[in-house]
Amino acid sequence: MKLADQTLEKIENGSAVIGVVGLGYVGLPLILGFVGRGFRVMGIDIDRKKIEAIRAGESYIEHIPGGSIAEAVESGKLEVTTDFSEASRPDALIMCVPTPLDEHFEPDLSFVLSTMESLVPHLRPGQVVSLESTTYPGTTDEELRPLIEDRGLAVGTDIFLVYSPEREDPGNPDFSATSIPKVVGGTTGDCARVGQALYQAVVSEVVPVRSTQVAEFTKLLENIYRAVNIGLVNELKVAAERMGIDIWEVIEAAATKPFGFKPFYPGPGLGGHCIPIDPYYLTWKAREYGVHTRFIELAGEINRSMPHWVVQRTMEALNQRSKSVKGSRILLMGLAYKENVDDMRESPTFTLMDELAGLGAEVDYYDPHIPEIGPTREHARWTGARSVEWTPENIAGFDCVLLATNHRVFDLAGLLESADLVIDTRNAIARAGLTPREGQVVKA
């Protein structure tokens, strides 16, 4: 029996040990999914704090309950470590590590490559290696395959290399790591067979594609589609405002068309680890083929300009009250990049805070999901800042409250009772059916 069939048999009879490398927003739900299907799982991460939290049955991601982690640990099916030499034990290694951009908006594969280099000395025949990190087409075959084969292991014969992009949506109660269909592409036919079996063991539906490149491109298309359409409505928002038209009313009216239209909504900029970043992985790779992806790059420019436009609207609103930004006390509501989560990665609120502070404003934030700001690569000045206490007296003390992310826990009625000026970037007040005082709320 060849190795591919042996690995398939282990996966199908449930005796395979599953390794997940990188225990963040993607990796942690994945290990819980495999444990829930009865597999023994090993989690590997360089962050010792995460390892200690899991061992203690505690969650460090708000929407994942600690009880689920404690149950997995107590079952004896989950162990976690910072020791990469343990990577020889699992039959499958799934990599869930960040793929950010560098300062030139070019792909930064340092986390993927350093992780792979740490795993390679411990790889053994029969293992399946899957990359889930979003990246440009060709990464799996051009970057990971040579590292494995330099170790003397033949991909497709000894090691089964696949790419299956993550599709996590943190905080979405309608979808989980095991219910979202999984796209899987293999480097060879046997790689594809093994990879599909691996994910069929844990997710409700596997979508096989012809190659790792197709799978990589699929993930980029999903997020470019959203980035471009959000860029479109952001540009239309500016045009509509200048014409005295409410873009939100326009979108809601257009959304009544039962075909040919899907509503996208404007905001203060893009956030999260996908939509603001992923399009640039394709634009970078496309240049290698002499293709200039102008449409994608234009959408990126528009979306990156949105925080500045919001700041300009804030300045105009303060000016109408005979106040300048310099010296004004401004509160940002919502630090997380999306509603009802504690994920602040690439949040446009940071850019808003930076720009307002740079203009001389006294800036604070309120977000019960993020009581304190941890270290970030681009916004170190805010490390250690704490969310203000929500009291009518505190809110009344600000010259302006800028609503950047509309969490469900926000007391919008109380906001209107206390705040003199609200800059609403999410149309939250209108959507809540509240009636502000004349001139109290400015949409941006």
Q: Which two tokens stand for residue 328?
A: 């004004």
Residue type, 331: L
Q: Going by DSSP bridges, is the β-strand pair 160-163/182-186 parallel, antiparallel, or unpaired?
A: antiparallel
Catalytic annotation present for 274: yes
Distance of alpha carbon 399 from alpha carbon 407, whole angstroms: 21
The rounded distance, in Å, linking the Cα atoms of 383 and 372 is 8
Which residue do the tokens 């604070």 mark? 364
Six-digit token pair at 202?
A: 């844990």
Q: Partners of 197 in the beta sheet? A: none
Give, rounded to a whole angstrom, the gap between the first and last alpha carbons of the chain: 64
Structure tokens at 361: 């404003």
Helix residue ranges, H only, 321-443: 348-358, 392-396, 412-418, 428-431
Q: CA nearest 18: which of 128, 111, 177?
A: 128
DSSP-assigned letters across all residues of 190-255: HHHHHHHHHHHTTSS-EEE-S-HHHHHHHHHHHHHHHHHHHHHHHHHHHHHHHTT--HHHHHHHHT
> CB count, 10 Å around CB of 239?
10
- Strands of 400-403's sheet, edge to edge? 362-366, 329-333, 400-403, 422-424, 441-443
Structure tokens that stand for 247 in this block: 């873009």
Contact (CB, 8 A) for 142 and 175: no
3-state percent helix, strand, coil for the chain, nearest multiple of 5: 40, 15, 45
Q: Give the catalytic positions in this structure.
A: 274
